[in-house]
Amino acid sequence: MRLAGRVAHMTGGGSDGWEVYYKARARIAAGERILNLSIGEHDIPTDASILKAMHDGALAGSTGYTVGAGKAELRDLIAARVEARTGVRTTRDNVIVTPGGQAALFSAHMVLLDTGDRALYCDPYYATYPGTIRATGAEAVAIATRPERAFRPDPEAILAKAEGARTLLITTPNNPTGVIYDRATLEGIARAVREADLWLISDEVYDTQIWEGEHLSPRALPGMAERTIVLGSLSKSHAMTGSRLGWMIAPEAVIAAAVDLATNTTYGTPGFIQDAAVFALNQGAGFEAQIAAPFRRRRELIAPALAGSNRVSIVPSGGGMFVMLDIRATGLSGEAFALRLLDEEGIAVMPGESFGAAAAGHVRVAMTIPDEAFAEALARLGAFADRI
């Protein structure tokens, strides 16, 4: 008996580049002190008030099937939130609630791509991006960005690979780089998307974690609302990673297709989780700022901690819970550096190569441990880079 080749094709085969993360977890489980800067998981739990809302919803009977686009009250809240932030008219008919942002990402590609299509994404990228594209049977095509441009995509590079393509996937604020795409960058992307007649899929799950500049959704640019799909989630904004509550904002026809897909896959998102999401969103921007505050604070610790290092430079970041460090001056690849850093210093960071070829010679640092330990890890990382 044999398995279908679908999953092997989706993952692309070979190493997924996460060896450092798995080694770090094993050593933590064995009782070692490892300063783990490898994964974007809050170091605080979901707020007790949100968990109470979830509990109350379940006890009130919100435990049945939820097939469809999601509860109307939640979709109305999401639509109002998006409209307030972008100025673009948005109604519940433009919203589908999904089991996390990853399901929204998967749904977007599934309803837009056919087998044999080409789909573009920017390199460096979040780990699941190419696999999500390949799951549809489409060809995943990377658009390389450059450190010299702060990893912002070049519209001409997009157009150079756009022939036969149907979609372009971007994320801002970016994971893994922390870079925010400024207006000029987004206007260039929008121009390329319109010229090549592409759908734009915009992953905006870090839109509440803005440290410099401003977040601009490309859906708000002229002529883009009808060709842009926006992905959102409560995972990062409300420390609800395990609750799996995300959404997709799109034209009505796209949402209708996504509902048909959900009927045949997830069959909706649990009602009591949606009840908790209604409560969470009603807490407003002040609550979201509290969740984001540790990352804003820790970002300010990075430059002082690395000030004495001659071998590490910081990729300027404006948002999110990550920062990229350029360690090319050490002469090591990101993977070799990360493995040695874990072995010799007990500090876990992600190799840039885990996120694509464009980030080779870099490492990604997650700002997800307490301040004092975070500053210690960065100072030791810088000293390690100089020593080797």
The DSSP result for 15-61, as a single string, is --S-HHHHHHHHHHHTT---EE-SS---SSPPPHHHHHHHHHHHHTT
For residue 13, CA distances in Å to 17, 22, 89, 142 come to 11, 18, 42, 17
Burial label for 142, CB within 10 Å (0-12, 13-18, 19+), is middle
All CATH 3.40.640.10 domain ranges in the chain, comma separated: 48-285
Q: Before 173, cis peptide (omega within 30)? A: yes
Please check whether residue 200 is in contact with residue 229, taking contact to mean a CB–CB distance below 8 angstroms: yes
Residue 374 to residue 304: CA distance in whole angstroms: 12
Helix, strand, coil percentages for the chain (3-state, nearest 5)? 45, 15, 40
Give the mean pLDDT per block of 10 residues along the chain (388 residues): 88 73 94 94 97 98 96 98 96 98 98 97 95 96 94 97 97 96 97 98 98 96 97 98 98 98 96 98 97 97 95 94 97 96 97 95 97 98 96
Q: How many other C-beta atoms lie within 10 A of the C-beta of residue 387?
A: 10
Q: Which residues contact 2 (CB under 8 A, 6 or more apart)?
A: none
In single-letter form, the type of residue at position 240 comes to M
Rounded Cα gap, residues 124 and 320, in angstroms: 15
| Dihedral pair phi/psi, residue 236, rounded to 5° | -90, -40
Residue 86 token pair: 């972008």
For residue 15, the model assigns a pLDDT of 59
Crossing angle for the helix pair 271-282 and 48-59, to the nearest 10 degrees = 140
The superfamily in CATH containing domain 6-46+288-387 is Aspartate Aminotransferase, domain 1 (3.90.1150.10)
- The encoded tokens of residue 6 equal 């679908």
- Asked if the 48-285 domain carries CATH number 3.40.640.10, the reply is yes
**What pLDDT, on a 0 to 100 scale, did the predictor assign at position 33?**
96
Write the CB contacts of 162 (distance below 8 Å, at least 6 apart in sequence): 120, 168, 192, 195, 196, 198
What is the H or E stretch that residue 323 is in? Answer: strand 322-326
Start-end ranges of CATH 3.90.1150.10 in the chain?
6-46+288-387
- Which of 190, 186, 175 shows the shortest CA–CA distance to 233? 175
CA atoms of 63 and 251, how far apart (whole Å)? 29
Three-class SS state of 200: strand
Question: What pLDDT does 138 receive?
Answer: 96
Length of the chain: 388
Is the distance from CB of 323 to CB of 178 less than 8 angstroms? yes
The confidence score (pLDDT) of residue 18 equals: 80
What is the pLDDT, as a whole number, of residue 7?
A: 87
pTM here is 0.95
Contact 268, 64 (CB under 8 A): no
pLDDT number for residue 36: 96
Q: According to the model, what pLDDT value does residue 17 have?
A: 67
**Cβ 167 vs Cβ 176: under 8 Å:** no
Q: Which residues pair with 365 in a beta bridge?
A: 323
pLDDT at 229: 98
b/e code 89-101 from CB counts within 10 Å (16+ = b): ebebebbbbbbbb
